[in-house]
């Protein structure tokens, strides 16, 4: 795998992005300083409002510049991590033994009508749920499971 | 580890801590200044310098700290890159030197086999 093209070694940001962040931070601090200078020079509140707005705009510029920098860095790190983990397949929800779209029509009808759970279990599952495979469970309808105080499994989401 | 080494290796975290400290001090000074006068026209400059300026400095410090974390993650990925490249090169050299390409055995011509 080659060095990521977006940034220099040791940091995800390229020079242009860093320069933009530094410039915007400087501009924001300059606006805050101008606001401070302006409010100090004005004798009345009426004359200070505009300068306070300028200073507030400067702080917003600083916040946006820093937020953009951090978000860009997080995104670049995530992209590079995904490049490493690209070969690992992540199953889609709901997590079942055969995958979300690979059930036979019979299994689908069973899954719609009957769900499985054990006598002492707190959750009821689809019959092909990863949490139910290999266990001796009894089938029953959703209503009867919920009457018994069980809740739907969070993995297979029956 | 001595202080100079920490500052050299963790300059962004040290700068972040210093900036957050400056911001908190500015906030405190602004509060003290604004509470010392009852005239709004005299309080507003303290709000701008002690409030908004302190907010900016704390934001920059926080960004420096977060960017230090991001740089650490990036360096780990760089290290992973180097390790993978080294192991790949080692594997390739092994496959070249240890497992030479076998020459195919000559096939017997038709009619010359054993009867």
| Residues making up chain B, counted from first to last | 115
pLDDT, residue A3, reads 43
Give residues with Cβ within 8 angstroms of B9, minimum separation 6.
none
User: Quick check: A70 and B63 CB within 8 A?
Assistant: yes
Report the distance separating Cα A97 and Cα A128, nearest Å.
Answer: 6
Looking up tokens 């230090």 gives B68
pLDDT, residue B109, reads 61
Report how far apart, in Å, the C-alpha atoms of A24 and of each of A76, A138, B18, B47, B92 are.
Answer: 21, 64, 21, 22, 48
Instruction: Indicate the residue of B45, B70, B80 with minimum beta-carbon distance to A12.
Output: B70
Report the distance separating Cα A65 and Cα A55, nearest Å.
Answer: 15
Residues 64-83, chain A: which have Cβ within 8 Å of B?
A: 66, 69-70, 73-74, 76-77, 80-81
Tokens, residue A125:
């599952």
Average pLDDT of the residues in B54-70? 94
> Phi/psi at A96 (nearest 5 deg)?
-125, 165
Q: HSE-up of B51 (CA within 13 Å, CB side)?
A: 15
User: Quick check: A11 and B48 CB within 8 A?
Assistant: no
User: DSSP class of residue B62?
Assistant: H
User: Quick check: B70 and A7 CB within 8 A?
Assistant: no
Looking up tokens 């704390």 gives B58
Q: Yes or no: say if A64 and A24 are a contact pair by the CB < 8 Å rule.
A: yes
Instruction: Indicate the residue of A1, A4, A74 with minimum beta-carbon distance to B70.
Output: A74
Which residues of chain B are within 8 Å of residue A10 when distances are taken between CB atoms?
71, 74-75, 78
Tokens, residue B97:
């030197």
Cα angle A85, A90, A94; round to 5: 165
Tell me the H-state helices in chain B: 3-9, 11-35, 40-46, 53-97
pLDDT, residue B113, reads 47
What mean pLDDT is reported for chain B?
84
What is Dmax (Cα atoms) for chain B? 120
Which residues of chain A are within 8 Å of residue B80 when distances are taken between CB atoms?
84
Whether pTM > 0.80 for this model: the answer is: no
Q: HSE-up of B41 (CA within 13 Å, CB side)?
A: 7
CA quadruple A30, A35, A38, A40: dihedral positive or negative? negative
Average pLDDT of the residues in B86-94? 84
For A13, the closest chain B residue by CA position comes to: B71
- The answer to whether B80 faces chain A, any CB pair under 8 Å, is yes
Report the distance separating Cα B70 and Cα A7, nearest Å.
Answer: 12
User: DSSP class of residue A125?
Assistant: B
Query: What stretches of A19-153 adopt beta strand conformation (E)?
Result: 115-117, 123-124, 138-140, 151-152
A99: left (phi over 0), alpha (psi -120 to 50) or beta: left
ipTM of the complex: 0.72
Give residues with Cβ within 8 angstroms of A20, minimum separation 6.
A65
- The answer to whether A142 faces chain B, any CB pair under 8 Å, is no
Task: Return per-residue pLDDT of chain A as tens, 158 residues.
Answer: 444 444 545 788 888 999 999 999 999 999 999 999 998 887 788 888 999 999 999 999 999 999 999 999 999 888 888 877 764 455 555 555 554 444 544 444 444 568 889 888 888 888 877 777 778 888 888 888 888 888 888 778 78
- The answer to whether A63 faces chain B, any CB pair under 8 Å, is yes
> Phi/psi at B104 (nearest 5 deg)?
-70, 140
């Amino acid at each position: 795998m080659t060095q990521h093209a977006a940034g220099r070694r040791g940091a995800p940001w390229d020079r242009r992005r860093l320069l933009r962040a530094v410039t915007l931070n400087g501009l924001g601090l300059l606006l805050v300083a101008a606001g401070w200078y302006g409010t100090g020079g004005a004798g009345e509140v009426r004359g200070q409002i505009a300068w306070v707005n300028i200073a507030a705009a400067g702080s917003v510029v600083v916040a946006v510049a820093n937020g953009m920098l951090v978000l860009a860095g997080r995104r670049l790190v995530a992209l590079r991590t995904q490049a490493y983990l690209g070969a690992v397949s992540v199953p889609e929800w709901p997590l079942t033994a055969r995958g979300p779209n690979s059930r036979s029509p019979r299994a689908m009808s069973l899954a719609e009508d009957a769900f499985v759970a054990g006598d002492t279990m707190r959750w009821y599952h689809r019959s092909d749920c990863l949490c139910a495979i290999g266990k001796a469970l009894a089938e029953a309808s959703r209503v009867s499971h919920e009457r018994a105080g069980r809740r739907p499994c969070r993995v297979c989401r029956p | 580890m001595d202080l100079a080494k920490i500052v050299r290796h963790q300059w962004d975290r040290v700068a972040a801590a210093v900036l957050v400290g400056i911001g908190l001090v500015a906030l405190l000074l602004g509060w003290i200044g604004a509470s010392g006068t009852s005239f709004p026209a005299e309080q507003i400059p303290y709000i701008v310098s002690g409030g908004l300026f302190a907010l900016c400095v704390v934001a920059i410090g926080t960004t420096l700290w977060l960017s230090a974390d991001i740089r650490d993650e990036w360096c780990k990925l760089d290290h992973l890159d180097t390790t993978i490249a080294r192991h790949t090169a080692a594997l390739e050299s092994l496959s070249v030197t240890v497992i030479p390409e076998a020459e195919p055995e000559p096939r017997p011509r038709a009619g010359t086999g054993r009867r």
